[in-house]
Structure 1
Amino acid sequence: MKRQRNIEPPQDSGPWWRHGFMWLVVGGPLLVVVAALVTAVIAVRGADVLVDTSAAASGSPHDADVPALKARNHVVTPRQP
């Protein structure tokens, strides 16, 4: 015997904006695009000023190492009782 199935036509599920999954599919990439634009605006508006190369080169190369050498020597120096 064959069984007959009652197949009903699908009901209208409504407009696309009423489905949460559609907001997930569209909203994720849209959020990434908005975040990229905000990042670009922050980068352009908050750009650092250029350093004058003549002023930066006026110090000796040895002077640039002084903070690192001081920190290294401080770390390896034993504590005094």
Structure 2
Amino acid sequence: MASSLLNLSSNDGYMVILDNADWHKNTAKFLREELDLIEVDFHGFAPINAYTHTTSIFLSRKFRFQPNGGIQPHYSIAALHHIAD
């Protein structure tokens, strides 16, 4: 796995999503320390489980968010739309 991750070393920004990162601590450590990625963790319950999981997003330092349609954040599918600005 490490050899395929090394191909991520590019000049372009990129993002890696590691689901169940709490089960893959060595992979998370590699992404964070060896590839110098920024780690953002999301903790919560998964469907049909009585325990929580962690999904981690790793961002390259050159990653640039591009809002869809120039607007961010977007409303979710079932959200109430409220305009305060």
TM-score by length of 2: 0.17
Greater helix percent: which structure? 1
Greater strand percent: which structure? 2
Q: Which has the higher contact order (CA 8 A, sep 6+)?
A: 2
